[in-house]
Amino acid sequence: MKKLLAAAIAAGVALAAIGPAEAAGGCGRGFHPGPRGMCRPNGPVYAHRGPPRVGYYHRGRGYWDGRRYYQHRYRYNNGWRYR
């Protein structure tokens, strides 16, 4: 009985000595698997909730004027003109 208890304690110490595994799913440090298995970087998510806001710049798209996206805008008659 003493040998069994000593073996169990030794096994517990051996398992406790092993460091925690990084659960990155094979993507590497600083990345995690996305919804379809693609590797995505860890970090803040900049997502706008709701409909697009008129007159604001949306990253990767441009300025939204209510109908379509424009890459450039300028002041015109107390408002904005998009080109």
Q: Where are the alpha helices (DSSP H) in the chain?
A: 2-17
DSSP 25: T
In a domain, 28, yes or no: no
Determine, yes or no, domain membership for 16.
Answer: no
Asked if the structure places residue 33 within a domain, the reply is no
Q: Is residue 2 part of a domain?
A: no
Q: Is pLDDT of 21 > 60?
A: no
Range of the domain at 79: 52-83
For residue 56, pLDDT over 70 is answered with yes
User: pLDDT confidence of 41, banded at 50, 70, 90?
Assistant: confident
Q: How confident is the model at residue 16 (pLDDT cuts 50, 70, 90)?
A: low
Of residues 76 and 61, more confidence is placed in 76
Domain count, the chain: 1
Please report whether residue 75 resides in a domain: yes
Does some domain include residue 80?
yes
User: Is there a contact between 65 and 54 (Cβ–Cβ < 8 Å)?
Assistant: yes
Task: Output the pTM of the full model.
Answer: 0.33
Whether 58 is in a domain gets the answer: yes
